[in-house]
């Protein structure tokens, strides 16, 4: 009778433990993905010149990005964001000749000519690829309530599958320059973790920066 009871308990322990292991694997994988989701942007440093009265009248958006398509998408997304907050904005690509590199020397004159009072400069400071690995884990299932050492444990063949994925970490610097003084009036350093295409990160990043600009009183 005791043997039958122990066997029954062992089967229940193994089923429950395997189910918990599978549930843990699923929850762990979901948590890992959430850590590197596209909305995972953190502020490293945020600064505003207290003397800047605001709000801006017109902003020239300049994305210092090598890839022309990504630069265009970034600038256009920021322009749409500013306009939705009642601020006139224009991309630097609209003001510079085709193929012209956006630098301080090239952007400032055309921005002043366009009647802008601020220039927004967004650029990548660093970009790294990170590999994540979680090994397979096996947990012993006790044979009965009196088990006290490893010899009295049963180890399922596979409790939790190993998890491997990679993600990208990019640090961005977003700065607003006053064209009257040619000095910065607002700046944010951010770090974003993500998987997949960099193009998919543009909209959530701009939305995140918009929230910081609004909380800083730059835009309404």
| Confidence band of 153 (pLDDT split at 50, 70, 90) | very low
Q: Check residue 129 and give its pLDDT.
A: 82
Q: Which residue has the higher pLDDT, 195 or 34?
A: 195
Q: Check residue 165 and give its pLDDT.
A: 63
Domain ranges, ordered by start, for the chain: 2-215
Report the alpha-carbon distance of residue 22 to residue 137 in Å, rounded: 11
Q: Check residue 130 and give its pLDDT.
A: 76
Give the CATH superfamily of 2-215: Anticodon-binding domain (3.40.50.800)
- 6-56 confidence digits (pLDDT tens): 444 444 544 444 444 444 444 444 444 444 444 589 999 999 999 998 899
- 61-113 confidence digits (pLDDT tens): 999 988 899 999 999 999 999 999 999 999 999 999 988 889 999 999 999 99
Handedness of CA 107, 109, 115, 120 (dihedral sign): positive
Q: What is the mean pLDDT of the chain?
A: 79
| Confidence band of 205 (pLDDT split at 50, 70, 90) | very high
Q: Which residue has the higher pLDDT, 157 or 66?
A: 66
Percent of the chain with pLDDT over 70: 66
Structural element, H or E, at residue 42 = strand 41-48
- pTM metric for this prediction: 0.71
Q: What is the dihedral of CA 87, 92, 96, 102, to 10 degrees?
A: 140
Listed in sequence order, the residues at least 6 apart from 187 whose beta carbon sits closer than 8 Å to its beta carbon are 45, 46, 47, 48, 173, 174, 175, 176
Length of the chain: 220
């Amino acid at each position: 009778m005791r043997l039958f009871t122990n066997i029954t308990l062992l089967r229940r322990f193994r089923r429950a433990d395997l189910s918990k292991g599978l549930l843990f694997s699923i929850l762990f994988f979901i948590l890992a993905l959430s850590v590197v989701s596209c909305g995972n942007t953190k502020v490293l440093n945020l600064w505003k010149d207290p003397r800047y009265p605001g709000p801006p009248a017109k902003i020239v958006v300049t994305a210092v990005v090598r890839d022309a398509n990504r630069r265009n998408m970034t600038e256009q997304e920021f322009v749409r964001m500013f306009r939705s907050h009642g601020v006139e904005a224009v991309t630097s690509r609209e003001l510079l000749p085709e193929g012209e590199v956006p630098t301080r020397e090239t952007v400032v004159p055309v921005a002043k000519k366009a009647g802008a009072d601020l220039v927004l400069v967004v650029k990548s400071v660093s970009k790294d690829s990170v590999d994540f690995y979680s090994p397979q884990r096996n947990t012993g299932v006790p044979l009965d309530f009196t088990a006290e050492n490893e010899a009295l444990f049963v180890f399922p063949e596979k409790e939790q599958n190993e998890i491997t994925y990679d993600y990208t970490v990019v640090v961005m610097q977003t700065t607003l320059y006053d064209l009257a003084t040619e000095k910065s009036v607002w700046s944010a350093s951010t770090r974003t973790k993500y998987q997949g295409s960099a193009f998919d990160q543009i909209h959530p990043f701009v939305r995140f920066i918009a929230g910081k600009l609004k909380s800083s009183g730059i835009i309404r």
